[in-house]
Amino acid sequence: MTTRTQTPPVHFDAVRRFTIEEYYRLVEAGILEEDAGVELLDGQLIPMAPIGPEHHWILDTLTRTFNRREDDRFGVGPGRSLPIPRHNVPEPDLVIYRSGVSRRRHLTATDVLLVIEISDSTLTRDLGFKADLYRQAGIPEYWVVDVRNRCLRVFTLHADRYETAIVREGKVSPQALPGVEIDASFLFSGD
């Protein structure tokens, strides 16, 4: 009679978190494709939610509006990676950043004027983890286009904390770009 030895179950005391450098090496090595549909959050590879037609429409509207007003003050980056040391590379829907950023490096938090997330299925993460991440990184302004509740949630940084306003109608401008207006009513108009 043969006796089998049982392998004890494996217990993970801690999950290993990827650093930003390791994340980019996964792309360079071809393990992850550049457009793999994941973002690095707290060292974990998190799948990004599929984008629906309303999300696309809102993103197109915001991008066109900012591009029309783009001048030497700022750049418009839909789908730009935003490395935030040491374990985060969120992929916001839209980043408005200072002009003059080198094309040979990723944006940093100090380059950013405004981050925008268009949120439906990711609302809890966008209002919780990501808001806290952007606040800690010193991002001066963060907008969440809340598709479910038909409002724009505006977070502005004041003394290391975000103050929040909810805009359902009318025009709103980023703090750093007075005169560049987004019509919140238009974002949610139509069917």
Euclidean distance between CA atoms 101 and 75, whole angstroms:
9
Sign of CA dihedral 118, 121, 127, 133: negative
Q: What is the pLDDT of residues 32-52, one digit of tens each?
A: 988 888 999 999 999 998 888
Query: Is residue 89 a contact partner of residue 39, using CB atoms and an 8 Å limit?
Result: yes
- What is the pLDDT, as a whole number, of residue 3? 54
Which letter does DSSP use for residue 78 in this model?
E
Among 145, 165, 148, smallest CA distance to 156 is for 165
Q: What is the pLDDT of residues 99-150, one digit of tens each?
A: 888 788 889 999 999 999 999 889 999 999 999 999 999 999 999 999 999 9
Rg, C-alpha atoms of the chain: 20
Query: Is residue 126 a contact partner of residue 119, using CB atoms and an 8 Å limit?
Result: yes
Sort residue 172 into left (φ over 0), alpha (ψ -120 to 50) or beta. beta
Euclidean distance between CA atoms 188 and 174, whole angstroms:
19
Split at pLDDT 50, 70, 90, the class of 14 is: low
Query: Is residue 120 a contact partner of residue 94, using CB atoms and an 8 Å limit?
Result: no
Q: Is 150 helix (H, G, I), strand (E, B) or coil?
A: coil
> What domains can be seen in the chain, in order of their start residue?
51-187 (3.90.1570.10)
